[in-house]
C-alpha cells in the first residue's frame, strides 16, 4: 500500500513537473512571439503610426491576459490546460512568422540604403609582364591620377605606396584615359586605377580600351570604405527628385556591377499633386562633365568613369536642378522582377530581336512580336535595352524599324510603368518574398531607411485613389524630351572623333522650367486660351520637343589643311579662333598652304585656346623677315610666326628663326 502511494506521488510530481515545464514553455514562447512582432512593428517608423501602436498595445494586453489565464489553468489543474497549450503554440508561431516577415522586409530595405561607399584601387600592368607581386616591381615607373580628391585614383594609391614602402618614380596624369594609355604605350610600367577599370571603358569605340581584359592584369588590390555625406534634409512629404541610373551588366548582383552611365532617368515627384516629370537623358548628350579638368564637355556617359557622384554633379550643373536621391538599378535584376510578377503588359510598336540577359545571340536571341504583349523578364529586358535593329543576327521581319537612344528611353519608361501597375496587385506572400530578395540584390540608393519607409504613405495614397485604374491614369506623368542635333566631335581623351548629341539650349531651358514647376520652385505660366479641332485627336505637347531655330552653342574646329594663310585667317575670324602660324621649308602638301594643325578636326572650340597652323614655304624664303604684314593682320587674331626646316613640324625650331610678331585680340 505504501509503495503504491509513493508511486502515485511520484507520478503526480512528474505530471506537475511536466505541466510546469509546459507552462514555462508557453510563457517563454508567447513572450518571445509577442515582443518579436512588437519589435518588428517598432522598426517600421512612419508607417501607420496609430495603427502600429494600437497593435503593439493589443499584443501586450493579450500577452498579459493569456499569462493570467495560463496561471489560473495551471493552479486549478484545469483540463483546459492542454487546449491552452496548443493555442499558445499556434498563436506564438503566427506571431513569430509575422515578425520574421516584417524584420526580413526591413533588413532588405536597410540593405538598399547605403550610407557608405567602398572604393577599390588596383595596381595594373600589361599582361605580358612576368611580375605578379607588388613587392617585385623594383624601380619601375608608376602612374596615378593627379586629382587629389579621387579616392580610388589618388588617395588610396598614395596609401598603398606608403604602406608598401614604394620609392618608385610616380607620374601623374589628368584623367583615367591618359593614365591607361600611358600604360599601353609603355610610358609607365604600372598604374593605379579603380579595380573595375575594364568595365569603365566598355563601349568607348576605342579598341585599346575595349580590350583591356586581355591586354592588362591586376597584381595588387586594396579597398577603402568611406562614409557618404548625406546633404538631403528633406521629407518625402515635400516635392523631391530621383535620378535612376541603370547598371547594364552581366553580373547577377549590383555590388558586382559597375555603373556605366548607359541609362539615365531624372524624375521629379510632387506628393501633394501626385504629379511627376520623367526625363530620359541620352548617353551621348554633349555636356560639361563636372569631374573633367575645367569641366570640359564630353559625352555624359563618360561622367560614369568617376562614379555616380560625378554623374549626379554633372546633371545638377547642367539642369540647374538639385538631385535629392539616386537609385542604381541592375538591369539584369529586371528579368527576375518581371518573372516574379508573371510578366508585364506592353504595347510593342514593332517586331524586334535582341541579345538575352547574358548578351548572347544565336539560339539565345530574344524575339518580341509587334502588338499588345505580356512580356517575360527576358523580353522586358530586351525591350528596355534595344536601341537599333540587328540585321547581322536577325531576319528582316525583326529589323524593319528605326530606333535610337530616345526611343530606348521611352521603352524603359513603359517597362517601369508596367511594373508599377503589377506591383499594386500583389496578393501572394511568396511573390513578396521573391521580390524582396531580387530587389535587395539589384538595387542601391542613398535614401535613408526611414525615407524609404515613408514611401509607403505615398504608395498607399496612390493605391487608395486608384480604384483599379492604371498608375499612369492616376499619377500625372509628364514626359520631357531633350531636342538637339547630331554631331561628330573629336574626343581628345580617347583620340577619336565620336558621335555626340548636342542639346538645344532652349530645349534644356524648357525642360528645366517644367521640373522646377513640378517641384514648386517656380510658378507656372497660366494659359488663358486653348484651341483644338474637334475632328482631330488631341496630342499632348511634349515639353522640350519641337522646332528650335537657334542652334546649340557649340562649334568644332574645321580642317585648315590645304587652305592658304589668307583663307585660314578669314575662317578663323568668322569663328573667333586665335591663330598661331609656323612656317616650314619641307613637308607633304602644296607650297603656300597649311599642311598641319595642332588640334584635330572636330575638336570643340570651347576646349581650344590657340590653334597653331603649319604653312609650307619655298626654300628661297628669307629666314629673317617679318612674314606678317599689316594687310594680313586682323583685329581678332594673335599671330606667332616661326620658320622651321623640319619635315614633320614639332614644337622645337631650328637655329635660324624669324622675328615673332604678335597682334593682340582686341575684342
The whole-number pLDDT of residue 227 equals 75
Provide the mean pLDDT of the chain: 81
Pair 209, 175: CB distance under 8 Å: no
Angle between helices 331-340 and 405-423 (to 10 degrees): 40
Checking if the pLDDT of 3 tops 80, the result is no
Question: In the chain, pLDDT over 70 holds for what percent of residues?
Answer: 80
User: How confident is the model at residue 204, as a pLDDT?
Assistant: 74
Q: What is the pLDDT of residue 635?
A: 43
Q: How far is CA 615 from CA 182, 301, 438, 590, 594, in A?
A: 31, 38, 64, 9, 4
On the question of pLDDT at 632 being above 70, the answer is no
pLDDT at 15: 60
Q: Is the pLDDT of residue 190 over 90?
A: yes
pLDDT number for residue 634: 45
Lowest mean pLDDT among 27-31, 153-157, 559-563: 27-31
Average pLDDT over residues 630-657: 42
Strand order through the sheet with 170-173: 170-173, 142-145, 190-194, 116-126, 216-227
- Yes or no: say if 190 and 126 are a contact pair by the CB < 8 Å rule: no
Q: Which residues of 472-488 are buried (b: 16+ CB within 10 A; e: fewer)?
A: eebbebbbbbbbbeebe
Residue-wise pLDDT tens digits, 572-611: 998 889 999 999 998 888 999 999 999 889 888 887 889 9
The closest alpha carbon to 164, from 224, 220, 225, 217, belongs to 220
* 508 pLDDT higher than 90: yes
Give the residue with greater pLDDT, 207 vs 543: 543
At 132-180, the pLDDT tens digits run 999 999 889 999 999 888 888 899 999 999 999 999 999 999 888 889 9
All cell numbers assigned to 658: 624669324
Query: Who's near 298: CB < 8 A, 6+ residues apart?
Result: 286, 287, 289, 292, 491, 493
| 285-329 per-position pLDDT tens digit | 999 999 888 888 999 998 988 888 899 999 999 999 999 999 888
Quick one: what percent of the chain has pLDDT higher than 90? Answer: 36
Given this model, what pLDDT does residue 529 score? Answer: 64
Q: What's the rounded Cα separation, in Å, for the pair 173 and 584?
A: 32
316 or 497, greater pLDDT: 316
pTM equals 0.77
Which is more confident, 547 or 137? 137
Contact residues for 63 (Cβ-Cβ < 8 A; gap 6+): 30, 31, 34
**H or E segment at 501?**
strand 496-503
Q: What was the pLDDT predicted at 537?
A: 64
Q: How would residue 375 be classed by pLDDT, with cut points 50, 70 and 90?
A: very high
Report which of 305, 129, 152 is spatially closest to residue 217, judged by C-alpha positions: 129
Q: Could you give the CA distance from residue 128 to residue 216 in angstroms, rounded to a whole number?
A: 8
pLDDT at 454: 81
Q: Which of 416, 414, 387, 419 is nearest to 403 (CA)?
A: 387
Q: Give the contacts of 512 (CB within 8 A, at least 6 positions apart).
A: 319, 320, 321
Per-residue three-class SS string for 304-370:
HHHHHHHHHHHHHHHHCCCCCEEEEEEHHHHHHHHHHCCCEEEEECCCEEECCCCCCCHHHCEEECC
What 8-state DSSP symbol labels residue 564?
A: B
Amino acid at each position: 500500500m505504501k509503495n503504491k502511494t509513493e508511486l502515485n506521488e511520484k507520478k503526480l510530481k512528474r505530471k506537475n513537473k511536466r505541466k510546469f515545464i509546459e507552462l514555462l514553455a508557453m510563457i517563454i514562447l508567447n513572450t518571445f512571439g509577442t515582443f518579436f512582432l512588437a519589435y518588428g512593428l517598432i522598426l517600421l517608423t512612419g508607417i501607420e503610426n496609430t495603427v502600429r501602436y494600437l497593435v503593439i498595445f493589443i499584443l501586450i494586453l493579450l500577452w498579459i491576459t493569456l499569462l493570467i489565464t495560463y496561471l489560473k489553468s495551471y493552479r486549478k489543474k484545469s483540463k483546459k490546460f492542454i487546449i491552452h497549450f496548443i493555442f499558445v503554440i499556434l498563436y506564438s508561431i503566427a506571431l513569430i512568422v509575422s515578425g520574421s516577415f516584417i524584420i526580413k522586409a526591413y533588413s532588405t530595405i536597410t540593405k538598399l540604403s547605403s550610407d557608405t561607399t567602398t572604393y577599390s584601387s588596383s595596381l595594373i600592368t600589361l599582361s605580358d609582364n612576368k611580375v605578379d607581386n607588388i613587392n617585385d616591381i623594383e624601380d619601375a615607373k608608376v602612374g596615378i591620377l593627379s586629382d587629389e580628391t579621387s579616392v580610388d585614383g589618388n588617395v588610396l594609391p598614395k596609401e598603398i605606396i606608403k604602406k608598401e614602402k614604394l620609392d618608385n618614380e610616380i607620374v601623374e596624369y589628368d584623367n583615367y584615359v591618359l593614365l591607361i594609355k600611358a600604360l599601353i604605350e609603355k610610358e609607365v610600367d604600372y598604374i593605379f586605377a579603380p579595380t573595375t577599370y575594364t568595365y569603365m571603358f566598355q563601349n568607348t569605340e576605342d579598341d585599346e580600351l575595349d580590350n583591356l581584359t586581355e591586354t592588362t592584369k591586376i597584381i595588387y588590390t586594396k579597398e577603402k570604405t568611406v562614409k557618404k555625406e548625406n546633404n538631403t534634409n528633406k521629407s518625402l512629404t515635400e516635392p523631391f527628385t530621383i535620378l535612376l541610373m541603370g547598371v547594364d551588366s552581366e553580373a547577377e548582383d549590383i555590388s558586382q556591377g559597375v555603373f556605366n552611365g548607359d541609362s539615365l532617368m531624372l524624375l521629379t515627384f510632387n506628393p501633394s499633386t501626385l504629379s511627376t516629370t520623367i526625363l530620359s537623358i541620352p548617353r551621348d548628350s554633349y555636356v560639361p562633365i563636372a569631374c573633367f579638368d575645367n569641366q570640359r564637355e564630353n559625352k555624359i556617359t563618360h561622367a560614369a568613369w568617376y562614379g555616380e557622384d560625378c554623374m549626379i554633379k554633372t546633371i545638377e550643373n547642367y539642369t540647374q536642378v538639385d538631385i535629392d536621391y539616386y537609385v542604381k538599378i541592375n538591369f539584369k535584376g529586371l528579368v527576375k522582377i518581371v518573372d516574379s510578377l508573371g510578366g508585364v503588359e506592353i504595347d510593342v510598336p514593332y517586331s524586334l530581336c535582341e541579345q538575352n540577359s547574358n548578351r548572347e545571340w544565336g539560339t539565345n536571341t530574344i524575339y518580341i512580336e509587334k502588338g499588345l504583349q505580356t512580356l517575360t523578364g527576358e523580353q522586358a529586358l530586351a525591350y528596355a535595352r534595344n536601341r537599333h535593329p540587328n540585321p547581322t543576327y536577325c531576319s528582316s521581319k525583326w529589323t524593319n524599324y528605326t530606333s535610337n537612344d530616345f526611343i530606348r528611353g521611352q521603352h524603359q519608361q513603359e517597362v517601369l510603368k508596367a511594373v508599377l501597375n503589377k506591383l499594386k496587385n500583389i496578393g501572394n506572400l511568396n511573390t513578396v518574398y521573391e521580390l524582396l530578395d531580387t530587389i535587395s540584390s539589384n538595387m542601391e540608393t542613398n535614401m535613408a531607411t526611414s525615407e524609404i519607409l515613408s514611401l509607403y504613405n505615398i504608395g498607399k495614397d496612390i493605391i487608395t485613389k486608384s480604384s483599379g485604374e492604371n498608375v499612369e491614369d492616376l499619377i500625372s506623368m509628364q514626359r520631357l524630351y531633350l531636342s538637339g542635333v547630331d554631331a561628330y566631335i573629336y574626343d581628345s581623351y580617347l583620340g577619336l572623333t565620336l558621335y555626340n548629341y548636342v542639346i538645344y539650349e532652349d530645349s534644356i531651358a524648357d525642360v528645366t522650367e517644367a521640373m522646377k514647376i513640378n517641384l514648386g520652385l517656380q510658378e507656372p505660366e497660366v494659359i488663358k486660351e486653348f484651341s483644338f479641332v474637334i475632328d482631330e485627336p488631341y496630342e499632348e505637347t511634349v515639353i522640350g520637343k519641337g522646332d528650335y531655330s537657334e542652334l546649340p552653342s557649340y562649334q568644332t574646329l574645321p580642317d585648315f589643311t590645304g587652305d592658304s594663310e589668307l583663307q585660314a585667317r578669314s575662317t578663323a575670324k568668322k569663328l573667333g579662333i586665335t591663330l598661331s602660324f609656323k612656317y616650314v621649308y619641307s613637308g607633304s602638301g602644296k607650297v603656300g598652304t597649311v599642311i598641319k594643325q595642332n588640334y584635330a578636326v572636330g575638336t570643340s572650340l570651347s576646349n581650344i585656346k590657340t590653334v597653331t597652323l603649319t604653312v609650307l614655304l619655298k626654300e628661297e624664303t628669307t629666314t629673317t623677315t617679318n612674314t606678317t604684314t599689316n594687310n594680313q593682320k586682323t583685329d581678332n587674331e594673335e599671330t606667332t610666326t616661326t620658320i622651321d626646316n623640319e619635315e614633320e613640324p614639332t614644337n622645337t625650331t631650328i637655329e635660324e628663326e624669324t622675328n615673332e610678331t604678335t597682334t593682340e585680340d582686341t575684342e
